[in-house]
Amino acid sequence: MLFQGKATQICISLSILAAYQTMYSYVQPFRTPDDNFNMLIGQVVTFAILFCGLMTATDIPALDSYPDDLFVVIIICLALIPAFLLLYIVTGEMALVNKTRQNIAAKVKKRKEALKGGARKMSRKMTGEKNVAVEEAAGAPAGGAGNKIHPGGE
């Protein structure tokens, strides 16, 4: 690789990353805005880590009398940002999935109750039609007078 382990390598990486970020922000290759945002966060974190690495490689902490491990701690914290963002997104999606499941279960339960009520009405209607058909087949008038099939019909 070019300039292995030198500050120049980090500067070249920062330049390439800045050009890529600009192109990426213009094109937005993912379908959903959330995915584009997640990629942008990853790019910004990578840029910040490279910048902190550049400052460490050029001995800025020693020249400006910063604590020795300050930039190492900053790099570690920056590297954890995508992990926390991912955890936040996953918990948010799981909450959304659970809410959707509850809504679907409530709609299914409501639909089943509606179907049961409709089935009872249909059963009564069909039973009534069956009685009329049986009475007509037996030669009795449909009103039930002289009905020998059903008790109390005569």
How far apart CA 77 and CA 112 sit, in angstroms, is 52
pTM of this prediction?
A: 0.53
Share above pLDDT 70 across residues of the chain, in percent, rounded to a whole number:
75
What pLDDT sits at residue 143?
52
Q: Are the CB atoms for 49 and 78 separated by under 8 Å?
A: yes
Domain boundaries, the chain: 7-109
How far apart CA 153 and CA 148 sit, in angstroms, is 7
Instruction: Give residues with Cβ within 8 angstroms of 47, minimum separation 6.
Output: 14, 17, 18, 21
Q: Are the CB atoms for 57 and 75 separated by under 8 Å?
A: no
Instruction: Give the start-end residues of each E strand in the chain.
Output: none
Take residue 1 and report the two structure tokens written for it.
Answer: 């690789």
How confident is the model over 90-145, as pLDDT tens digits? 898 899 899 999 999 999 998 888 887 766 666 555 555 555 555 555 555 555 55
Which is nearest to 82 in space by CA: 33, 109, 49?
49
